A and B are shown apart, each in its own frame.
Chain A
Amino acid sequence: KQEVTQIPAALSVPEGENLVLNCSFTDSAIYNLQWFRQDPGKGLTSLLLIQSSQREQTSGRLNASLDKSSGRSTLYIAASQPGDSATYLCAVRDYNTDKLIFGTGTRLQVFP
């Protein structure tokens, strides 16, 4: 059964720091991996989607990498800002079940 874990569960940093959020999954048989942002009480905003054949994707200050064989992905946030404060979720589209399996999230707080 596919399981997705995110470390750390919470992170508090001063503005301007570069951050790395980690996501690991137990079964490398995936179609893709996606990173989302969720603000309190809100829905999900898709940040980056990496297909299983890709190694990384970039959007602005965000860079996500995927190492499928080791079951890991990282989300790199450059020059963090208070507006980046949110919960970040990663999810894999599992090959065996064809379902999107979510991690438990990392709650990020960036203070001025």
Chain B
Amino acid sequence: GAVVSQHPSWVICKSGTSVKIECRSLDFQATTMFWYRQFPKQSLMLMATSNEGSKATYEQGVEKDKFLINHASLTLSTLTVTSAHPEDSSFYICSASRGGLSTDTQYFGPGTRLTVL
């Protein structure tokens, strides 16, 4: 149990276009979902936290108008990279937890590789 999927697994787009990445909890309801970014040979950095039905909380330095997050249901969160630029190329990973407790386990998706040309 506790499977998280992401779609697409990889995407290549032209500079200036928008890209949407989906994160789904397949066999559980996720009260909270998280979006991380990982640059090559670096660790994961939290971008934002979203709770179902409310606005996402963004980390310092992450532009909320550029990285739009929607958590419309207990099984789906989307990250839209608007007007993507080459510096947005990265590996984006989502995670989901059943509850909102700090001790709740986060289950991670397989990641989405974004390449902006």
Mark B90-117 against chain A: 1 for CB-CB distance below 8 A, else 0: 0101010000001101111111010000
Residues of B within 8 A of A43 (CB): 6, 93, 108-111
- Contact present for B102 and A98 (CB under 8 Å): yes
How many interface residues does A have (CB within 8 Å)?
A: 23
Of A14-22, A56-64, A72-80, A101-109, the stretch lying at the interface with chain B is A101-109
Q: What's the least CB distance linking B48 to chain A, in Å?
A: 11
Q: A89-B44, A104-B43 are in contact. Are A31 and B102 (CB under 8 A)?
A: yes
CB under 8 Å from chain A, chain B span 19-43: 34, 42-43
- Chain B contact patch, size range: 20 to 34
A81 at the interface (CB under 8 A from B): no
A100 and B44 alpha carbons, distance in the complex (Å): 9
Residues of B within 8 A of A34 (CB): 105
Chain A to chain B: the 4 pairs with minimum beta-carbon distance, closest first:
A43-B110, A44-B108, A102-B43, A43-B111
A interface residues (Cβ-Cβ under 8 A, vs B)? 31-32, 34, 36, 41-46, 49, 51, 89, 91, 93, 95, 98-100, 102-105
